[in-house]
Amino acid sequence: MACVLRHVIMTVTAVYIGGGGDPSKQKLNCVKVNGSKSFVAAKMGVLRQDHAMPLPCTGGVDEDVLEEHLRQNIPRRKQMVDLYRHGEMVEEGVGYRQTVVIRSYEVGADKTATIESLLNLLQETALNHVWMSGLLSDGFGATHGMMRNNLIWVVSRMQVQVDHFPIWGEVMEIDTWVGASGKNGMRRDWLLRSQVTGIVFIRATSTWVMMNKETRRLSKMPDEVRAEIAPWFIEKYAIEEESPEKIEKLDDKARYVHSNLKPKRSDLDMNQHVNNVKYLRWMLETIPDEFLEKHQLSEIVLEYRKECGSSDVVQSLCEPQFNENIGLNGHTVSSQILQGNGLLGAINQKLLSYIHLVQTKGESKNEEIVRGRTTWREKKHGAKLFPS
C-alpha cells in the first residue's frame, strides 16, 4: 500500500535516567515522540521543541530518518528569520542576509580571513538561503523536485572580486540571491560587506547546473524544479560582465607544476566529490612562496570542467601572465631578468595574473578538472581601510 505523507506536530520530550538530581551527571537515554520510545541519543542535553515535519502515516517510521530530521529540523515552509544562524530574508522575501563574525580559525598569520574561509562562508550562506526557503530536501542544497528526479547542483563557473579582506573578529554581512542563467542554469550572487560601515569587501557570482546523481551526466532542468526556484529569481548582479574572457588551457610546459596530488576523505562533500574550495588551494600552492609573501589576491575566476573523486591523482599547473611586460617603475620584465633579478624580481615589480589548470593524470590522457585565473596586487603594509 502506498504511503501518504502528512504533517504532524510532535512534542519531543527528553527522558533522563541516572545521576540523581545533578543535571551535570544526567544522560539523555531516549526520546519519546507522542509517548512512544524512538531512539537512543546520549549526551544531547535537554531537548523539548515542537517540530513540524512530514512522516509516513503507515508502516512505521525509520528511527535513523526520524533522528536525522529531529536533529536538523529542516523547515518545510518558508522562514523569514533564523535566530540560530543570524539570518533573515531580504529583497522582498526572496534574498537572504546573514551576519557572521570572522573567527580565529578562519584567518591566517596576518590576521585576515583566508580566501578558502571566505569561499566556505559564501557556500554556507547559499545553503542557508535554500534552508530558509522551505525548498531544501535531504540533499546538499537540492530541492524536493531535484531529489525526486535524482539531481544535484554542480557549479560550472565562479568569479570572486576582493577589495578588502576581513580581519579577525570583524562583523560582516553577507547577502545572497539567485537568478536565471540561460535555459537550464541558475546564477547565484553574493555581496560581503562590513556591518559597521557598509563598505563592500567582496563581490561574487557563480553559475550552477544540474547533474544526475547516478549517471554523473549534466541534465536539463525539469519543469517541476523550474516551478520551485523561478519565483526566487532576481534581476540583480553583484558583478557586471557582458562577455567573460575565456581562460586558455595550459599544457605540461607550464612554468610551475605540482604533481601526484591526492584528495583526502576530508576533501569530499556530501555529493561525494571534491569540494570546489580544495581546487583553489591546489592552485595557490603552485604559486611560489616568494610571490605570495608580497602579494594579495584581488580576483579569482574558476571554470569547472569535470568533477574529481577520491581515487583521482591530480596535477596543478600555473603560468604567470604579464601586462605588456611593463613594471610599476617603468622597467620591462626582460630588463629585470637581464639585471640579474630573475623572474621573481620581474614579477614582484607589478600587478599580474596567473593562469591555472587542475587536471587528473591518467595513463593514456589527462582530463581537465578546472581552469582558473588569479589576479594579484602588491601588499601595502600599514595601509588603513578607514583613514582618520
List, by residue number, the catalytic residues. Answer: 271, 273, 308
Asked whether the beta carbons of 310 and 334 are under 8 A apart, the reply is no
Cα 39 → chain centroid? 33
Cell triple for 312? 583521482
Question: How many distinct helices (H) and strands (E) make up the chain?
Answer: 8, 17
CA dist 374 and 354 (Å) reads 5
102: amino acid identity, one letter:
I
CA dist 16 and 23 (Å) reads 9
Give which of 52, 47, 49 is closest to 6, Cα–Cα. 52
Cell triple for 185? 542554469
Sign, CA dihedral 47-52-55-57, equals positive
Is residue 190 helix, strand or coil?
strand
CA dist 31 and 40 (Å) reads 7
Residue whose entry in the numeric block shows the C-alpha cell 535554500: 130
CA dist 115 and 108 (Å) reads 10
CA dist 267 and 279 (Å) reads 10
